[in-house]
């Protein structure tokens, strides 16, 4: 039976322990509900793909709790990228950077890069802090279906007894419909892959302050 608990200090600690034991937890974020596992736990990441009915050839976004962790999880993170992280994190900006070997290939579909973000929501930040690990931040939905914005959506999609979903943290209904903006800094030059909550003008204005 999948546990469904309201968000509080006790349930966050329990969720962190579940993640560290290889579990999968559905959590509220600053956009929609997300599916989390420890991002460097290969078995747990496989469970995320199974839960979402998603091919393993699709990279998963990664949530972290502090920009300082990028020193461990990335290679050659540029000063310009650090400026963007410092300005827009926590927030709806995903930065694709060259990953270090601490992020396993399965998490990012074998790509040499990974997308990192610090969401503007205390639940994913707290879980990343409690586990001291990067966690996956993929949306809570079956592949190709709309994202879950409340726990009823989660249960409707995944059921109450899904073997690949250990816990759901109920943070109420979420209104976020605009996805994060995605930028790619792997080549040294900034490429805007998707414009979302953070506008292109805002990004360019920060980089012009160098």
Residue among 75, 12, 53 nearest 162 (CA): 53
Supply 127's token pair.
Answer: 């879980």
Q: What pTM value is reported for the model?
A: 0.95
Domain boundaries along the sequence of the chain: 3-207
Q: What was the pLDDT predicted at 210? A: 55
Helices (H), the chain: 9-20, 42-52, 70-73, 79-88, 122-131, 151-158, 200-207
Angle at which helices 79-88 and 200-207 pack, to 10 degrees? Answer: 130
**How far is Cα 210 from Cα 207, in angstroms, rounded to an integer?**
6
- pLDDT tens series, the chain, 210 aa: 899 999 999 999 999 999 999 999 999 999 999 999 999 999 999 999 999 998 888 999 999 999 999 999 999 998 889 999 999 999 999 999 999 999 999 999 999 999 999 999 999 999 999 999 999 999 999 988 999 999 999 999 999 999 999 999 999 999 876 889 999 999 988 899 999 999 999 998 888 865
CA 95/CA 81 separation, integer angstroms? 8
**Which residues make beta-bridge pairs with 94?**
182
Domain 3-207 has CATH 3.90.870.10: yes
51 contacts: CB under 8 Å, gap ≥ 6? 24, 35, 158, 162, 164, 165
CB 180 within 8 A of CB 92: yes
Bridge partners (DSSP) of residue 74 are 99
Integer Cα distance of 29 and 77 in angstroms: 25
How confident is the model at residue 179, as a pLDDT? 86
Long-range contacts of 50-55 (CB under 8 A, 24+ apart): 50/164, 51/24, 51/158, 51/162, 51/164, 51/165, 52/138, 52/141, 52/142, 52/143, 53/142, 53/143, 54/138, 54/143, 55/143
The pLDDT of residue 189 is 84
State the pLDDT at residue 143. 84
Residues in the chain, overall count: 210
Please state whether beta strands 113-117 and 191-194 pair in parallel, antiparallel, or not at all (unpaired): unpaired
């Amino acid at each position: 039976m999948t546990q469904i608990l309201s968000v509080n200090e006790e349930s966050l600690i329990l969720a962190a322990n579940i993640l560290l034991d290889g579990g999968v937890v559905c959590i509220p974020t600053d956009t929609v509900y997300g599916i989390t596992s420890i991002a460097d736990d290969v078995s747990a990441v496989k469970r995320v793909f199974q839960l979402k009915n998603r091919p393993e050839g699709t990279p998963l976004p990664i949530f972290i709790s502090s920009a300082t962790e990028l020193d461990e999880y990335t290679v050659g993170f540029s000063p310009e990228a650090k400026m963007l992280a410092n300005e827009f994190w926590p927030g709806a900006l995903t930065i694709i950077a060259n990953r270090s070997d601490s992020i396993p290939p399965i998490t990012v579909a074998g790509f040499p890069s990974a997308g990192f973000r610090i969401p503007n929501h205390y639940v994913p930040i707290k879980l990343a802090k409690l586990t001291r690990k990067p966690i996956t931040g993929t949306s809570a939905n079956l592949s190709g279906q709309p994202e879950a914005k409340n726990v009823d959506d989660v249960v409707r999609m995944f059921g109450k007894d899904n073997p690949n979903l250990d816990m759901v943290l109920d943070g109420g209904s979420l209104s976020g419909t605009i996805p994060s903006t995605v930028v790619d800094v792997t080549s040294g030059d900034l490429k805007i892959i998707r414009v979302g909550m953070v506008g292109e003008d805002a990004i360019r204005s920060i980089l012009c302050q160098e």
